[in-house]
Amino acid sequence: MLEKSYNIFIKDLKSELRTRYAINSLVMFILVAISVILFSIGNEKIQPELTAGLYWVVIFFSAMSGLSRAFVSEEERGTTLTLHLIASPDTILSGKILFNLTLTFFINVIITFVYAAFFEGFVIKNFVLFLVTFIFGNIGLAVSSTIIASIIAKAGSKGTLYPVLSFPILLPLILSCVQLTIFCFDGTSIDTHFYELAIVVSYDVIMITVSYLLFDFIWKE
């Protein structure tokens, strides 16, 4: 199963690198979104709290514009039935989650670099906490986006519906991540903010479990 899901991941990666559609459009999206934020800020100095919020806003919307392609492109190209034949639902979900994880990490590293370069408030005083938040936040983001993307693909790939369905599901994750990012900027230690971290980790575990339980029904619809 692991080998097959790895093969699906490689297949997605190859077809992505052939056209570079998602990567190009996502990088452009990040540039556009961040330049709009920078224009509206002007010469103002913004607080670290606001910087943390804006950071996760850009992460959320870039995920919303890029991650639905994993399943929507299969429906568009009509390759869903072939996938049905060659692999079990669990395998396909693993492959897709792997691909979305790679894409999320790649995109969010770029976003972090751009924020570090252009925002004065973006000074990380507690690097370990930031790294942990970043990793677990991205895992949760990628997993929830993947399962919602599969629903969207079956519902006739409605583009506008994707953020509508994902936002309430992602809200606990994003709120906790914003809080944790603010703590990173403050430079407080991990022990004092154990609860927020526990929310993010348990959210990831719950979402992964629910995705594997329910994907069967979505995929066979």
Q: Can you give the binding site for another protein, defined by CB under 8 A?
A: 147-148, 151, 154-156, 158, 161, 164-165, 167-169, 171-172, 175-176, 179, 195-196, 199, 203, 206-207, 210, 214, 217-218, 221
Structure tokens at 100: 């979305």
Q: Least Å distance between CB 65 and another protein?
A: 18
When the beta carbons of 39 and 217 are compared against another protein, the nearer one is 217
Structural contact between residues 220 and 163, judged by C-beta atoms closer than 8 angstroms: no
When the beta carbons of 28 and 164 are compared against another protein, the nearer one is 164
Q: Least Å distance between CB 100 and another protein?
A: 16
Distance of CA 190 to the CA centre of its chain: 23
Q: Least Å distance between CB 9 and another protein?
A: 23
Q: Give CA separation, 131 vs 62, 147, 177, 207, in Å.
A: 20, 25, 11, 21
When the beta carbons of 191 and 221 are compared against another protein, the nearer one is 221
Q: Least Å distance between CB 5 and another protein?
A: 21
Structure tokens at 164: 């509508």
Report the distance separating Cα 111 and Cα 56, nearest Å: 10
Report the distance separating Cα 193 and Cα 190, nearest Å: 5
When the beta carbons of 13 and 214 are compared against another protein, the nearer one is 214
Q: Least Å distance between CB 136 and another protein?
A: 14
Q: Supply angle C-alpha 82, 64, 47, rounded to 5.
A: 155
Q: Least Å distance between CB 12 and another protein?
A: 23
When the beta carbons of 46 and 165 are compared against another protein, the nearer one is 165
Beta carbons within 8 Å of 123's beta carbon, 6+ residues apart = 48, 185
| Nearest CA among 182, 67, 59 for reference residue 109 | 59
Structure tokens at 124: 């990380």
- How many Cα atoms within 13 Å fall on the side-chain side of residue 106? 14
Identity at 58, one-letter amino acid code: V
When the beta carbons of 30 and 211 are compared against another protein, the nearer one is 211
